[in-house]
Structure 1
C-alpha cells in the first residue's frame, strides 16, 4: 500500500488533468480534450501543454503577459508540490526556497526553449501540415531528462542523463499519447476519470524521475556541459526544421506525375486540369495527353495556354488562384467541348475546392483532391500591422522563426503570405467544408495516412476517401493512384478508408494545438456557425470563402 505522502502525490497529480478535461467537456471543446493529461506531466511536456494554450488563447500582448505570469506561477507551485511529495525517503531535500527558485528558473528556461516548437504546432493547426507537428515532438523527448534533472539537481548541466531517467521521461510521453487518445475519443464526462487516472500515472512517474535524477547509477561525460549543448541545439533546430518542412511540404523541382507524363486511355471523354502544390514551378512543358493541362498560378497567355511560373507564384491567396482557375476551366471547355476534371495536390487541391465554393455550377463535373489540407484553419494570428487579435504573440514568434529560416532559402516562406492568410481568414469554411460534397460534382479525396496526425478526432470528410500509407504529397505519383484516377473517370466508385486512420487521429490528439473556438474570433464572418472543434462533425452549414 502506498504511504500517506505517495497518496497525496497521486491526488495532487490527478486533480489538474481532471479539472481541465472537465472544463473542456462543460465548454464542449472536444478537439482539445486530448491535451488535459499533460497538465501534471513531467518536464517539458507540462510546459509544452501550457504554451500551446497560451499561444492560441490570448487576444493582446497585455493579455499574453498576464496569462503567462499566472500560468508560470501555477506551474511553479504545482511542480514544487509534486517534487516535494516525490522526494525519496531518507535523502536530504533542499529548502522550500531553493525548490521555488530552481523551478522558477526552469519554468522560464523551458518557456524560452519550447515556445518556438509550440508556435510551430500552432502553425500546424492553422495550415494542417503534419510536418510541423511531428517536428516539434523529438525536441521534447530530447529535453525531458535534462529538464527533469534541472528541477532537483544543482549541477544538472553536467553529463548525460541516466538511462533510467531517460526511460521514465520517455514513458511519460507514451502515457500522455495513450491518455490523450482515450480522453479525446468522445466519451463525454467519462473523460474526467480517465484524465484523473492519467494524472495518477503522472504522479508515479514524478516519483520515479525525481529518484532517478537524484540517485543515478552512473553519469556519463560528467565533465562535459551536455545540457547547454542540448539546449542550444533544440533552440536552433526550429529554424532548421522550418527549412526542411518547407522543402518537404511543397512540390519543389519539376513535377511530372503519371497523369502528366502518360496519356489517358482513349475512352476517357473529359479534359483534365492538374494543379500542383505549394512552391511548385512550371516550365511550360505540355502534358503527354493533349486533353490534359497544367494549371498555372500566373494564368493563361493570349492563346489560352497556361503560362510558366516560378515557386513564388504559388504564394498568392486561394481566392486569386481560384479566379485564375475559373478562366482556365472556361478556356479549356470552349476549346475541347468536354466536361472538365480538376486534379489538385496540396495547395492545388485547396484551389480546386475554393473554385467549387465560388462556382458550384460550372463545366467541372469531377474533382480529385490529392493530399488536401484536412481541417485547416483551427488557429489564428492577426496580420503584422495589427497589435491585437487572437494569437498575436504566436504570429510574431512564427515571423521570427520564418525570418531566420529564410536567410538561407532561395524561395522565402512567409507566415503572413496571401496563401496562408486566405486560410486563416476563412477558417469557418476550410475547417468545416473542405472535404464536403458539391451537388452535381463527383469528388474523391486521396488522403495520406500521415494526415491523421494533423486532424483532431472526429469526422473530416463526407465524400469518398481513398487512404494510402504515405507522407503529404506522396500519393499522386504512385501507380495505384493512377489506376484509381482512371477508374473514377470511367465512373467507378472508389473508396478505401483504412482501419488505422481513426486510432492514429486519437493518438495524435495529445500533441496538437488546441483549436480556437469559431465563436470567439470576430474576424471570422460566421462566428455562430457550426464548429467541428465542438461537435466533431464536418459539412454542416458554413459560408463560402471570400
Structure 2
C-alpha cells in the first residue's frame, strides 16, 4: 500500500510539473513578443502578443497576418512560411504533449510533433485567405472584411483542435465541450488583446505573460476535451472537410452580397437631394456618393444642391449620369472632377460650398481639400469615411517586390472568384484602392484632421470602431451612431444633425462605447506596416525609428 501511495504521489507530482511547464511555455512566447514590441516602441502590435501561444487555429491566423504584412519578396514570404509552420508545429506539439491528460496513454512526443507539424502546414493554408482579408481591412478600413476573416475561425476551431491530438478528427461532429472551449478561446483572445493594448509601457509585458498563462489553461482543457470526447455524432460523416469548405466559401459569399449586383441597385439618392434646404443654410451643397454608387442624372430638388458626378460635367455644366465603374477611378482623378464642379457651382450660386461625402465620396472630398488651400469650400461633412485607411500595403501586380506581395495576389484570387460568380468588376488593384495605398500616410494619419478655413465633422457608424486600432483617430468633431457602414444618410437623426451643422451649429457627439469597441476588435486586425520601412511612402512620413508610432494630425514629411 505504501508503494502504491508513493507511486500515486509521484504521478501527481509529475502531472503538476507538466501543468506548470505548460503554463510557463504558453506564457513565454507572448512575453518575448511583448518585450520586443515595447523595446522598439511598436505600440500598434502590442495587443497581438497574447496570440503567440493561442490554440488552433488562432495561432496560425496570427502567424499568417504577420507574414502577409511583413514580407517584401517571394523569397522572404516562402522562407517566412516555412519558418512559421516549423515553429508553430514545434510549439503546439510541445503544448499538446504537456497538456496531455495523465489518465490516457501518451503517444510520445515524436508522434505528437509530427502530427502538429502537419496540422501547422494545413492550418496555415486554410487560414491564409482569411488573413489576407484582414490585410484588406487594413487597406480600406471596412469592418466587413474583419468579420469575414474572423467568423470562419469560430467554425474551424473545434475541428482543428481535434486534429492536433489524433487521427479520425475529420469525421464526426466535435463534442459540445470542445465547441464550448473553442468559443471561450475566442473570447479570451479578444479581451486579452484589449487588456494588453490598454495598459501602458512595461505593464504590457506582465499582462501579456498572464494572458499567455491563460492560453496554457485553455490548451489544457481543449486537449482534454479532444482526447476524451463524448459520444461522437455523425461518426462516419466527413464533417471537418465540409466545415472547411463552408469556411472558405463564406467570405466569398459575403463579398458577393456586399458588391454583387451593385450596378443595378446602387443609385444614390439620399434625402438631402430630395428636399429643399432650410433658409438657415448659407451653403451651396455637393453630395458625393460612395464606392459602387450610381447616378441617373435626375437633379436635386434644391437648385443650390448638386450630386457629384464621377463622370464629370456636361457641356451645360450639369453633373453627368455615372455608372458604378466610374467610382473605381483614383481619388486624385475624382478630386480633379470635384474641383471643376465646385468652381462651377460656386460661380452659379455665389455661395460658399459644403461637401457631403459618403464612404469613398468622403475620401474624394478630403483628397480635394488636401492640396487646395484656397477653395470656395467652407464645410466638409464626412459620412462613414474610411478612417485610418492604408495601414498596410501590397504592391501592384506588375511588381516583383514590395511589402505584402503575397497578400496582394491572394486578394486578387479572392476578388476574381467573387467576380466570376457575381459578374462584378471589383478589384484590389483598381485605381481607387491603389491611390489609397500610394498616399497611405495621409489617409492613415491626416484625413481626419482639421482643415484651415473649413468646418469639418465626421458622422461615424459604431461598426467603424471594429476596424480601427485603439487610440485617437480624429481631431475634428464626430457624431457617432449605432449603424452599419454606408447607411447613415438614410437615418432621420443624421439628416437632422447635418442640417443643423450646415446652419452653423456645433455638433460633437461621441459615444462612450466606441473606444471599447476599438479595443475589442483590435485583436483581430492585421498588424500595421511601419510607415518608415515602405519605400513607396518614403518622404511622406516623419523621420525617426521605423516602429515608433507617427503622430496623428501632424503634417508628415
1:273 equivalent in alignment to 2:286: yes
Instruction: Tell me the CA shift for residue 236 of structure 1.
Output: 2.5
Instruction: Tell me the CA shift for residue 253 of structure 1.
Output: 2.0
Cα distance between partner residues in 2 of 1:150 and 1:21: 29
Instruction: Tell me the CA shift for residue 533 of structure 1.
Output: 7.7
Instruction: Tell me the CA shift for residue 419 of structure 1.
Output: 0.2
Please name the residue that 1:92 is paired with. Answer: 105
Cα distance between partner residues in 2 of 1:250 and 1:90: 62
Report the secondary structure of 2:510's partner residue. coil
Please name the residue that 1:56 is paired with. Answer: 69
Please name the residue that 2:181 is paired with. Answer: 168
Please name the residue that 1:485 is paired with. Answer: 498
Cα distance between partner residues in 1 of 2:256 and 2:45: 28
Q: Is the 8 A contact 1:169 1:209 kept in 2?
A: yes
Report the secondary structure of 1:136's partner residue. helix
Report the secondary structure of 2:457's partner residue. strand
Deviation string, structure 1 residues 246-299 (Cα, Å, up to 9, x no partner): 359999422221101111112322110000000000000111111110000010
1:377 equivalent in alignment to 2:386: no
Report the secondary structure of 2:523's partner residue. helix
Instruction: Tell me the CA shift for residue 244 of structure 1.
Output: 2.5
Instruction: Tell me the CA shift for residue 528 of structure 1.
Output: 4.3
Match of 1:213 among 226, 230, 236: 226
Please name the residue that 2:553 is paired with. Answer: 539
Q: Which has more radius of gyration?
A: 2
Cα distance between partner residues in 1 of 2:110 and 2:462: 49
Cα distance between partner residues in 1 of 2:71 and 2:392: 12
Instruction: Tell me the CA shift for residue 96 of structure 1.
Output: 2.6
Instruction: Tell me the CA shift for residue 529 of structure 1.
Output: 1.5
Report the secondary structure of 1:511's partner residue. coil
Cα distance between partner residues in 2 of 1:413 and 1:110: 28
Instruction: Tell me the CA shift for residue 525 of structure 1.
Output: 3.4
Please name the residue that 2:172 is paired with. Answer: 159
Q: Is the 8 A contact 1:273 1:295 kept in 2?
A: yes
Deviation string, structure 1 residues 138-166 (Cα, Å, up to 9, x no partner): 11011001000001021101110001001
1:38 equivalent in alignment to 2:48: no
1:256 equivalent in alignment to 2:273: no
**RMSD of Structure 2 on Structure 1 (CA):** 1.7
Report the secondary structure of 1:421's partner residue. helix
Instruction: Tell me the CA shift for residue 200 of structure 1.
Output: 0.6
Q: Is the 8 A contact 1:249 1:473 kept in 2?
A: no
Q: Is the 8 A contact 2:461 2:482 kept in 1?
A: yes
Aligned counterparts, 1:11-410, within 5 A: 11-246=24-259, 252-410=265-423
Q: Please report the TM-score for the alignment, with normalisation by the length of structure 2.
A: 0.95
* CA 86–443 in structure 1, closer or farther in 2 if over 3 Å, else same: same
Cα distance between partner residues in 1 of 2:110 and 2:403: 37
Match of 1:444 among 441, 448, 457: 457
Cα distance between partner residues in 1 of 2:262 and 2:209: 38
1:470 equivalent in alignment to 2:480: no
1:508 equivalent in alignment to 2:521: yes
Report the secondary structure of 2:257's partner residue. helix
Q: Is the 8 A contact 2:260 2:423 kept in 1?
A: no
Report the secondary structure of 1:365's partner residue. strand
Q: Is the 8 A contact 1:250 1:277 kept in 2?
A: no
Instruction: Tell me the CA shift for residue 359 of structure 1.
Output: 1.1
Instruction: Tell me the CA shift for residue 186 of structure 1.
Output: 4.9
Task: Choose 252-261 or 6-15, whichever is displaced more.
Answer: 252-261
* CA 379–146 in structure 1, closer or farther in 2 if over 3 Å, else same: same
Instruction: Tell me the CA shift for residue 535 of structure 1.
Output: 3.4
Q: Is the 8 A contact 2:346 2:352 kept in 1?
A: yes
Report the secondary structure of 2:55's partner residue. coil
Please name the residue that 2:3 is paired with. Answer: none
Report the secondary structure of 1:369's partner residue. strand
Cα distance between partner residues in 2 of 1:355 and 1:527: 18
* CA 323–527 in structure 1, closer or farther in 2 if over 3 Å, else same: closer
Unaligned runs of 5+ in 2: 1-12
Task: Choose 368-377 or 524-533, whichever is displaced more.
Answer: 524-533
Report the secondary structure of 2:104's partner residue. coil
Q: Is the 8 A contact 2:40 2:547 kept in 1?
A: no
Q: Is the 8 A contact 2:412 2:427 kept in 1?
A: yes
Cα distance between partner residues in 1 of 2:551 and 2:265: 34
Deviation string, structure 1 residues 49-93 (Cα, Å, up to 9, x no partner): 000000000010000011111111111110111001000002112
Q: Is the 8 A contact 2:541 2:556 kept in 1?
A: no
Instruction: Tell me the CA shift for residue 386 of structure 1.
Output: 0.5
Cα distance between partner residues in 1 of 2:555 and 2:419: 39
Cα distance between partner residues in 1 of 2:326 and 2:464: 25
* CA 251–478 in structure 1, closer or farther in 2 if over 3 Å, else same: farther
Q: Please report the TM-score for the alignment, with normalisation by the length of structure 1.
A: 0.97
Instruction: Tell me the CA shift for residue 230 of structure 1.
Output: 0.7
Unaligned runs of 5+ in 1: none
Cα distance between partner residues in 2 of 1:193 and 1:104: 30
Cα distance between partner residues in 2 of 1:440 and 1:94: 72
Please name the residue that 1:431 is paired with. Answer: 444
